[in-house]
Amino acid sequence: MSEIPVVSPLTHLSEDEKFFYDTIKQFADEKIKPFVMEMDKKAELRPEIPKQFFEMGLMGIHVPEEYGGAETNFFMSVLAIEALASVDGSAAVVVDVQNTLVNNCFINWGNEQIKKKYLPQLTSGKIGAYALSEAGSGSDAFALQCRAVDKGDHWELNGQKMWITNGNEAEIFIVFANINPELGYKGITAFVVEREFEGFSVGKKEDKLGIRASSTCELIFENCKVPKENVLGEAGQGYKAAIETLNEGRIGIGAQMVGIAQGAFDAGVQYTKERLQFGKPISSFQGVQFQLADAATKLEAARLLVYNAARMKDAGLPFLKQAAMSKLYSSKAAQEVCSLMIDLLGGYGFTKEYPVEKFYRDAKIGTIYEGTSNMQLQTIAKFLLKD
C-alpha cells in the first residue's frame, strides 16, 4: 500500500512555536471538540470556552505585558487561530477578532490613556468587537451612514452596524462613524463604545450557514452618548485605522481557513484508511491518493502564504500584498479541500455524523468577510500594476 500524503502544520515552526501550537490543539481537542456539533446546532458558544481563552492568555497574545498581555508576536496569534480552527471555526473567530482586529487597533491607534483603560480589560475578561460594516457599506467600507455629532462634553452616535462578529458577547466595541459627511471618508472616526453606554443596543443575531456558534449581530445607536476621550486615534483618521487593521486581520482570516482545511483534511485521510471498498481501504487506490496529494499541496501552499505574511508583518516589512494573497488563496483552498473531503466520504460526508460537512460550511465565509475575494484581487492588482 502506498503511503498516504499528510500535511504537517509543524514543518515550518521553531520548537517554541511547535509547543505553542500543540498546546492549543490539545486544548481544542479536549475542551472544544466534544461540543462542536452541539454549539453549531444551538448557534452559540458554551460560555466556559471564552473564559478558558482568557485563562490561557489567548485573548492578548501579542499585547504588551504592561497592559496584561503575553507580549509575544503576531505570528503566535496566527498559530493560535489556526490550531483552534482545525477543530472549530467558530471558536477560532473569537480569538481572531480579539487579537488581529480589536487589540491591534488599540495598540496601533490608542493613546496611553485609552490603552491603559481598555487593553487590560480585553486581555483579562472582556470580549471586543470591531464594528465597521453596515447594510449599505460592505466592500465600499467608507460609505458609512453611521453619524457622530460633537455635543460639547460628549459625542452622540446614531445609526446601525451589520454583521458584527462577537456582537452578542462583546462588552467593548470599536465603532466607525462619520463626524463630517461633507469630507467623505476623511470624516470617519473610530470610537470606543462600551455595552452599557446610553443609547447603545445589540439587535438581531444572524442565523448563518457556517461558523454558527460565533455570534454575528446588528448594532443599534440611538443618540448613543460616547465620552469625548473615547476617540480612538484622531478625529477624522478612522479610515486609516480601519484600513491598516483590516490588512492585519486578513492574515488572521487566512489562518482560520488553513485550520479549517486542515481539520477537514485530517478527517478525510483517516476515513480513507478505514473505508473498505472491493476488499481494501480506499486509500490504496491511486485515484484517491492523487486527490489527497493535490489537496495536501493546496493546503501547504495556503499555509506558507499565511505564515509568510505574518512573519513579514512581525519583521516590519511591507505586507499588504502578501496579506491579500494569503486570504485570497487560503479561502479558495479551504473550500476546495473541504469539498473534496465530502466527496471522499461519499454519503457520510453529506451527513452531520462526520465533521467534514461543518468544515465545508465554515470555510465559505473566508471569501466574504474582512474583504471579499474580489477586493483581494483588486488589492493585489494595484501592487502589480503600480508604477
State pLDDT tens for residues 326-362.
999 999 999 999 999 999 999 999 999 999 999 999 9
Query: Topology of 15-127 in CATH?
Result: Butyryl-Coa Dehydrogenase, subunit A; domain 1 (1.10.540)
Predicted confidence band of residue 1 (pLDDT cuts 50, 70, 90): very low
Would you state the pLDDT for residue 5?
45
Inform me whether the pLDDT recorded for 286 exceeds 80. Answer: yes
pLDDT of amino acid 139: 77
pLDDT at residue 268 in the model: 97
pLDDT recorded at residue 271: 96
DSSP letters for 40-67:
HHHTS--THHHHHHHHTTTTSTTS-GGG
What stretch(es) of the chain map to CATH 1.20.140.10? 240-385
Confidence of residue 3 (pLDDT cuts 50, 70, 90): very low
Top-level CATH class of 129-236?
mainly beta
pLDDT of residue 140: 80
Does 6 have pLDDT greater than 50? no
CATH T-level assignment (fold) for domain 240-385: Butyryl-CoA Dehydrogenase, subunit A; domain 3 (1.20.140)
Return the C-alpha cell found at 297: 499541496
pLDDT digits (tens, 9 = 90+) for 184-235: 999 999 999 999 999 999 999 999 999 999 999 999 999 999 999 999 999 9
Distance of CA 256 to the CA centre of its chain: 6
Q: What is the pLDDT of residue 75?
A: 97
Please list the residue range(s) of the chain that carry CATH number 2.40.110.10: 129-236
**Catalytic, out of 248, 300, 357, 370:** 370
Query: Is 370 one of the annotated active-site residues of the chain?
Result: yes
Q: Where in the chain is the domain with CATH 1.10.540.10?
A: 15-127
